[in-house]
Structure 1
Amino acid sequence: MKNRRMRLMAIFAAGVLSVTSMGGIVTAHAEETLSVPAEEAGAGAVQMDGKDAQAAEDGSVAASEGLIAGSFKPSEIAQPAQDTYEYPFLGMKLGISKDLKEQMEKKNISMFTDERWNDNADAVTYATASWCTLTDEQKDAEVDKMGTGYDDWLKSLSRVGVIGMYDEESQKDLDTITGCTEHKELGTSSDGKYKYYLSTNKDADADLLKDVEGIEVTLTEMTPFQNLSAFDQPQDTSDSTEATEGTNVGKFETTGVDGKTYTQDIFSKYDLTMVNIFTTWCSPCVNEIPDLEKLYQEMKDKGVGVVGVTRDTVGSGGKQDEEAVKKAQVIQKKTKASYPFLIPDSGMMNGRLDGISAFPETFFVDKNGNIVGETYSGSHSLDEWKEIVEKELENVTEGK
């Protein structure tokens, strides 16, 4: 995750939080909030306005801005200076000249990426790599992780040039998207749905402009999107997000946020276990936990278990995030969830927890640890989950 910008987009209609994670910095736009007392949650944990979290009429509990607290310097997440940049999802490879690389290393010009996704979160509408000059004020600026601070800061930068891929609708708005007025078409994507452009600012420094105009752009076959950032690298999903029957979570030993030890035997108690992967900063994730608890209480006697996996309690380097653990403890207490919230094990459940970019995500496991059925993105109502679980339970038990 280091030195890369990852836009984790999902469908609001399906209850998935839209977030941006850049070099380990996560920003989010959440509409609902839940407050938690600082003295109860501890320093840096979920904040409350001196009153307990209240469940809405539908049983949901919202997450607070405190789940994504603090600010960061967006200038520090500029892309590193490299000779080449390869973006398989965009079908594009960029070759950087020695002069431009040196200017990037000196911070005379910085490179930032940006992308927007369609409403179904299955394709980008546009994706851009921008080379910008920054004032001292912009270099030192800090923005909140919560809200539109990063996007506003990015729009304020002075563009030298932008190389991007745009769908048909976005092509009508190149001036606004790029902050430039000169646009040169570079080609069409392999699927025919996008066009590539080099956009430039004629008022930019002449030498820097020449360096950006000299970027070698090679168009290649596009790799099908995997619900990752358009600027990320493709991942092998054979044992993770595709979750086909026969894939197993493997043997593991980990702890829950309650401090108890858990192994793969947690699945042996039930014919079918729902594994709900969530993060402490995702309000739709937190919203549905009371419904998942109701589901568990209603269906455990039918052979259905529920396990939560708090994905952000382990960082990209495999180190446990104690602050996230404290937040998860507060969430478990406030939502009255009796099922376990697991901290990911070192093997990430045989790799199943790797590569997930939209939360919550839910999959199902049989009593032998085999991943069965379908994977479900986004939160759902209690009635929707009941219908899904009944279907998956019937499929897993009909062969018994």
Structure 2
Amino acid sequence: MIQWKRAMIAMMLAAALAATTACAAAPASNESTSETAGVSSASSTAQSTGEQESVSESASASESTQTANIGFFTAETLDGEAVDETIFSGHTLTVVNVWATFCGWCVDEMPILSALNDEYAEKGVQVVGIVNDTIAADGSEDPEQVALAKDIVAQGNATYTQLKLSDDLIQLGFASLPAVPATFFFDGNGNLVGQGFLGAKNESQWRETFDTYLKMAEEQMGESAA
């Protein structure tokens, strides 16, 4: 029953994505993490034209997206601290940003997300990162990848919580996204808020996104409490 529910949530997370500028789900070669790896042709077009889906369009499209609760899960931070679904409690909005060590776009926006995490904390917003390439081909944790992720986080001045993949997060679909960065939004009860998206944003776009989804989360939690 739990696995069926997680499969349904994973499908809903995948369906709730809108694409902008992102890296492919795996690097095409051993490229430096300071460079954009595996950029898809569609993403390259969006990059060259400067076109991105507006937050208002994303929010509008999300109205038809069924609300899903992430349910029970366990994971660990990059430093080995235990985390579970209560990470959402006490926050109106949690911005979950999924990234990978090979993705230059992911690294570039870390300082922005870190600054906004601090700025919006008093409004009940937190950012949580999930690095989705810390698992080796045999399913075990890759210590070299974990070490690399830690180095990238330090270089990107990302002071917000960073999670490693766990069995639960894999079952929820965070390891099988079509591209990174991918961002999802959850309210204080662990319910999905609106429509997630694939791709990076600049500071002004992120700020607009935080404001829009915070309002949506407040309305959603107000409705659930009524």
What's the offset of the Cα at 1:120? 5.5
2:132–2:175: 8 Å Cα contact kept in structure 1? Answer: no
2:93–2:124: 8 Å Cα contact kept in structure 1? Answer: yes
Q: Secondary structure at the match of 1:273?
A: strand
Identity percentage of aligned residues:
32
Bigger strand fraction:
1
RMSD between aligned residues: 2.9
1:251–1:263: 8 Å Cα contact kept in structure 2? Answer: yes
After superposition, give the CA deviation of every residue in 1:344-386 in whole Å (9 maximum; x if it has no partner): 2212265231430211000101111111111111100111011
Whole-Å separation in 1 of the counterparts to 2:71 and 2:138: 21
Name the structure 2 match of 1:259. Answer: 80
1:249–1:349: 8 Å Cα contact kept in structure 2? Answer: no
Name the structure 1 match of 2:123. Answer: 302
Give the 5 Å matches for 1:312-323.
312-315=133-136, 317-323=138-144
In structure 2, give the amino acid aligned to 1:314: I
Name the structure 2 match of 1:384. Answer: 205
Larger displacement relative to structure 2 (361-370 or 245-254): 245-254
Structure with higher RCO (Cα < 8 A, 6+ apart): 2
Measured at CA, do residues 245 and 350 of structure 1 come closer, stay the same or move farther in structure 2, by a change above 3 Å? farther
Give 1 or 2 for the bigger CA radius of gyration.
Answer: 1
What's the offset of the Cα at 1:64? 3.4
2:23 to 17, 33, 43: 17
1:356 aligned to 2:158?
Answer: no
Name the structure 2 match of 1:366. Answer: 187
Q: Secondary structure at the match of 1:249?
A: coil
Structure 1 unmatched runs, 5+: 1-12, 34-62, 69-115, 123-242
Give the 5 Å matches for 1:145-184.
none
Q: What's the TM-score, normalizing by structure 2?
A: 0.72
Structure 2 unmatched runs, 5+: 1-18, 46-63
Q: Secondary structure at the match of 1:398?
A: helix
Moved over 6 A (4+): none
Give the 5 Å matches for 1:1-400.
14-18=20-24, 21=26, 26-28=27-29, 63-64=33-34, 118-119=41-42, 244-315=65-136, 317-348=138-169, 351-399=172-220, 400=222
Measured at CA, do residues 392 and 318 of structure 1 come closer, stay the same or move farther in structure 2, by a change above 3 Å? same
Measured at CA, do residues 258 and 117 of structure 1 come closer, stay the same or move farther in structure 2, by a change above 3 Å? closer
Bigger helix fraction:
2
Q: What's the TM-score, normalizing by structure 1?
A: 0.42
Whole-Å separation in 2 of the counterparts to 1:117 and 1:275: 22
In structure 1, give the amino acid aligned to 2:181: P
In structure 2, give the amino acid aligned to 1:27: A
2:74–2:168: 8 Å Cα contact kept in structure 1? Answer: no
1:252–1:349: 8 Å Cα contact kept in structure 2? Answer: no
What's the offset of the Cα at 1:388? 1.1
After superposition, give the CA deviation of every residue in 1:25-48 in whole Å (9 maximum; x if it has no partner): x42496xx6xxxxxxxxxxxxxxx
Larger displacement relative to structure 2 (390-399 or 283-292): 390-399
What's the offset of the Cα at 1:252? 1.5
Whole-Å separation in 1 of the counterparts to 2:67 and 2:44: 28
